[in-house]
Amino acid sequence: MAPISFARGVPAPECLAVDDLAESARAALERDGHTILSYGPSPGYLPLREWIAARHGVDVSRVFITNGSLQGFVFLAQRLAAGKRVLVERPTYDRPLKILHELGADVVGLDCDEDGLDPDALEAALRGGEPPAFLYLIPTFQNPSGRTLSEERRRRIIELAREHDLLVFEDDPYGLVRYEGEALPSLLELSDGTAIYSSSFSKTIAPGLRVGWFVFPEALAREIEATATSTYITPVLLGQATVHEFVSRGLFEPNLERVVGLLRARRDAMLAALDRELPNVRTTRPEGGYFLWLESDDADAAELLPRAEAAGVTFVKGTDFGGEPETLRLAFSFVSPDEITEGVARLASVL
Ligand SMILES: Cc1ncc(COP(=O)(O)O)c(C=O)c1O
């Protein structure tokens, strides 16, 4: 019995536009090879920075491209968070948690519900204790929960940030991977550009390209440039120029639409299978992204995991993200709709 993975938050292989990317890489090398094969500026390939800056309506000097957005998170955390108090959602993406803990940060998890981070929990945290280095949040199709922060809460959080001089860091790799519903204003927009924003081409084109970006306040962009230069001298310009060629050929939007169609079918298959097989467990019903969050009062995810693996299905337990013991994260992005149906049946047999 081949194991079925609901643990891997990676795109299904058919999401990756291999032929178009091969042509884009070749064209980029032929046109600009002497630039992109040499050392270059650490904030990234200028034509792509300009394209990103135009999409956000910000000055290009604030756009910083890194080898995947997680690399930018590391730079930022090294600069701002070592030994400091940092506020995060509970649960939240496990890798930043690990990076922050390794830097000796005092990580404070704030309560969330169906509408995302609870602003009252944020306010309480801001009223007591050290002023935090920043608030890290994933407001749209959150990893791990799939939840989206409501517009009302977005506005309230930005108000609180103004009142308390709090730096807000919005991580948004999934926002464009939307299956239904209307996009909400970003925290970057609502804060008049004072929030830090990060996103990535990992979910919209391909993660192996390692092209993520940040919109920083001007002064911070200069500081991060110093960190980036002393870390890798130059970023991977070939990946960035390939992305630039891909978007210049008008392939970004049609590719995104294709990817969204492939992943929507997977989200739908998972929700339908859960409704059928596990009608009594609570799950989030994400309008986009890669994940949903399952809560079952009578399950301990740590105890369940080895039994699920023996039955041929895997997931990540909620405690890895700072969540409660009876929660777990299911990724629907990687496996096929048929495998999802079978995987949920296997999960139901052990739950
Ligand atoms: C919330 C979140 N932020 C950042 C990343 C990292 O993405 P990248 O491939 O751009 O480093 C991921 C990847 O899964 C993610 O889920």
Q: What is the distance in A from the centroid of ligand 1 to the CA of 207?
A: 9
Residue in 16, 71, 89, 95 to alter for ligand 1 test, most ligand atoms within 8 A of Cβ: 95
Map 173-227 to HEC letters: CCCCCECCCCCCCCHHHHCCCCCEEEEECCCCCCHHHCCEEEECCHHHHHHHHHH
- Strands ordered across the beta sheet of 116-117: 63-66, 212-215, 196-200, 168-171, 135-137, 85-90, 106-113, 116-117
Nearest atom (ligand 1) to Cα of 71: 11
- Single out the residue of 102, 348, 55, 35 nearest to residue 201, CA to CA: 55
AA letter at 216: F
Contact in structure between 74 and 99 (CB atoms under 8 Å): yes
Contact in structure between 145 and 112 (CB atoms under 8 Å): yes
- Single out the residue of 125, 192, 130 nearest to residue 158, CA to CA: 192
Nearest atom (ligand 1) to Cα of 69: 10
Q: Is the CB of 144 under 6 A from ligand 1?
A: no
DSSP-assigned letter for residue 11: -
| CA atoms lying within 13 Å on the CB side of residue 179 | 18
Residue in 89, 169, 202, 292 to alter for ligand 1 test, most ligand atoms within 8 A of Cβ: 202
Exposure class string for 25-61: b at 16+ Cβ within 10 A, else e: bebbbeebeeebeeebebbbbbbbbebbbeebebeee
Q: What is the distance in A from the centroid of ligand 1 to the CA of 68?
A: 7
| CA atoms lying within 13 Å on the CB side of residue 210 | 10
Nearest CA to ligand 1 atom 6: 70
Neighbours of 350 (CB within 10 A): 16
Residue in 65, 137, 143 to alter for ligand 1 test, most ligand atoms within 8 A of Cβ: 143
Q: Is the CB of 92 under 6 A from ligand 1?
A: no
Q: Is the CB of 198 under 6 A from ligand 1?
A: no
Per-residue pLDDT tens digits of the chain, which is 351 residues long = 899 999 999 999 999 999 999 999 999 999 999 999 999 999 999 999 999 999 999 999 999 999 999 999 999 999 999 999 999 999 999 999 999 999 999 999 999 999 999 999 999 999 988 999 999 999 999 999 999 999 999 999 999 999 999 999 999 999 999 999 999 999 999 998 889 999 999 999 999 999 999 999 989 999 999 999 999 999 999 999 999 999 999 999 999 999 999 999 999 999 999 999 999 999 999 999 999 999 988 889 999 999 999 999 999 999 999 999 999 999 999 999 999 999 999 999 999
CA distance 230 to 225: 9
Contact in structure between 157 and 187 (CB atoms under 8 Å): yes
Nearest atom (ligand 1) to Cα of 93: 1
Q: Read off the tokens for 341.
A: 């149906």
AA letter at 243: V
Identify the burial level of 187 via C-beta atoms within 10 angstroms of its C-beta, where 0-12 means exposed, 13-18 middle and 19 or more buried: buried
CA distance 149 to 165: 21
Nearest CA to ligand 1 atom 5: 70
Q: Is the CB of 9 under 6 A from ligand 1?
A: yes
Nearest atom (ligand 1) to Cα of 203: 9
Nearest CA to ligand 1 atom 16: 143
| pLDDT at residue 128, as a whole number | 86
Nearest CA to ligand 1 atom 1: 143
Exposure class string for 98-133: b at 16+ Cβ within 10 A, else e: ebbeebebbbbbbebeeebbbbebbbebbeeeeebb
Q: Which residues contact 285 (CB under 8 A, 6 or more apart)?
A: 146, 271, 292
| pLDDT at residue 142, as a whole number | 98
User: 86: helix, coil or strand?
Assistant: strand
Contact in structure between 343 and 4 (CB atoms under 8 Å): yes
Q: Read off the tokens for 67.
A: 């080898």
CA distance 179 to 102: 36
Name the pTM for this structure: 0.97
Nearest atom (ligand 1) to Cα of 207: 9
Q: Read off the tokens for 239.
A: 């990946």
Q: Which residues contact 149 (CB under 8 A, 6 or more apart)?
A: 115, 116, 117, 137, 139, 140, 142, 157, 184
